[in-house]
Amino acid sequence: MRLNHVLIMTTDLSEMTTFFCQALALTVGDRPAFEFDGVWLYDDQNLPCIHLADRSDINAHQAEYLRQPKGSNLHSGLDTIDHLAFSSKDYPTLIRRLDQHQIPYIERDIPESEEHQVFVFGPDELKVEIVFSRD
C-alpha cells in the first residue's frame, strides 16, 4: 500500500496553489469536474499527490458526493494532521527556491539518523516537511 494523495482544505485556493508550486515545484494538472472548486497538484513523476479544495465551497458538495444524510457530519474531516512529509534528493535547489520566493523554513537533523529535515510554512498554517539523506 502507498499513499495516493492528500486533500487540503484552504481558505485561498490561489494562494495555496502558488505556495506548493513555488515551494515544492509541484505542477497544476488535470482534475475531474467535481461540483466544487479545486486544484490537483502533480509531483515530479507526474502523479497527482496533493488535492486542494476551497474550504467554504466543499462541505455541501462533499456531503452530496458521499451520499450522506442531510445534517450528517460523517463527511467532515478533522483537523488532526500536523504536517505533510516528502522525501527529496535535491537539497540545494529546494533551499534556493525557498529563499527566492521568501518562503519561511526551519532546518533540523533527525536524531540518531542520517536524515536532515526542512520544515516549510505556508498558507492556512500549513507545515510541510522535506526529508533529505545527509549523504
Q: What is the pTM of this model?
A: 0.83
> Which residue stretches of the chain are H helix?
13-24, 55-65, 91-100
Top-confidence residue, 6 or 134 = 6
pLDDT surpasses 80 at 29: yes
Nearest to 129 by CA among 112, 111, 114, 109: 109
Q: pLDDT class for 131, splitting at 50, 70, 90?
A: very high
Where residue 90 falls among pLDDT bands split at 50, 70, 90? very high
- Cell 494523495 sits at which residue? 5
User: Which residues contact residue 28 at a Cβ distance below 8 angstroms, ignoring those fewer than 6 apart?
Assistant: 17, 21, 39, 40, 41, 42
Give the integer Cα–Cα distance in Å for 27 and 110. Answer: 29
pLDDT of residue 122: 93
Query: Taking 60 as the threshold, does the pLDDT of residue 127 lie above it?
Result: yes
- Residue 101 near residue 22 (C-beta atoms within 8 A): yes
Question: Rounded to an integer, what distance in angstroms lies between the CA atom of residue 96 and that of residue 51?
Answer: 25
The whole-number average pLDDT for the span 62-74 is 58
How high is the pLDDT of residue 65? 61
Please check whether residue 44 is in contact with residue 27, taking contact to mean a CB–CB distance below 8 angstroms: no
**Domains in the chain: boundaries:** 6-70+82-133
DSSP code of 79? S
Going by pLDDT thresholds of 50, 70 and 90, the confidence category of residue 47 is: very high
Across the chain, the runs of DSSP E, i.e. the strands, are 6-10, 27-29, 38-42, 48-54, 84-87, 105-109, 115-121, 127-133
Residue 20: the pLDDT is 97
Q: What is the pLDDT of residue 80?
A: 65
Return the CATH class of domain 6-70+82-133.
alpha beta
